[in-house]
Amino acid sequence: MKTINDNCDKQVLKVIRALKQWNQRPYRIGMPSYLIETMISDYYHSLFTTFGTSIISEYLDLEVIKVFEYLKNNIYHNVNDPKGIASNINTLSWDDKFSLQQRLATDWDKAKSARQYEQDDNHAASIKKWSEIFGENFPTYTG
């Protein structure tokens, strides 16, 4: 994890923290913390090895959108344990994976909308949309 984080301008841990915060929201099923860390780590590792350079943005919102999409598209896949203790740490049931995929797809769409609101200079709507994703502890718009 340290190597991946270092290769990505020390931004990966920020993304992991954000997704763990997202995961704390009440929902039918959550992702195990280690699974979130590993899947995000795998995502950035694959990008780094493919492109040979850090292509991570300093803007957390852009990365959250990309990671939601990655998780949504890969929640059904096996996830190798980087510690080598288990062969597959994605032990969620099929129903739980389906439920998480639906949640990730919904929040991915909301995140894209929040980003579009920001680009349109509608910061109040953007913040409101992010709070739908991250919950009531997300900062409110005070503009």
In a domain, 141, yes or no: no
Domain of residue 91 covers 2-134
DSSP code of 115? Answer: H
In a domain, 140, yes or no: no
Total number of domains constituting the chain: 1
In a domain, 142, yes or no: no
* pLDDT per residue as tens digits for the range 63-105: 999 999 999 999 999 999 988 888 999 999 999 999 999 999 9
Residue 2: pLDDT band by 50, 70, 90 thresholds? low
* Distance (Å, whole) CA 118 – CA 40: 25
**Does residue 30 carry a pLDDT above 90?**
no
Q: What is the pTM of this model?
A: 0.90
Residue 10: pLDDT band by 50, 70, 90 thresholds? low
Residue 43: pLDDT band by 50, 70, 90 thresholds? very high
Q: Which residue has the higher pLDDT, 84 or 118?
A: 118
Q: How far is CA 99 from CA 17, 31, 76, 96, 103, in A?
A: 22, 11, 11, 5, 6
In a domain, 110, yes or no: yes
pLDDT, position 44: 87
* Per-chain mean pLDDT for the chain: 89
In a domain, 143, yes or no: no
Q: Are 90 and 79 in contact (CB under 8 A)?
A: yes
Q: In the block, which residue shows the tokens 């740490």?
A: 89
Tokens read off for 9: 């301008």
In a domain, 139, yes or no: no
pLDDT, position 111: 97
* Distance (Å, whole) CA 63 – CA 107: 13
Amino acid letter at 84? G
Q: Which residue has the higher pLDDT, 119 or 44?
A: 119
In a domain, 69, yes or no: yes
Count other Cβ atoms within 10 Å, centred on residue 129. Answer: 22
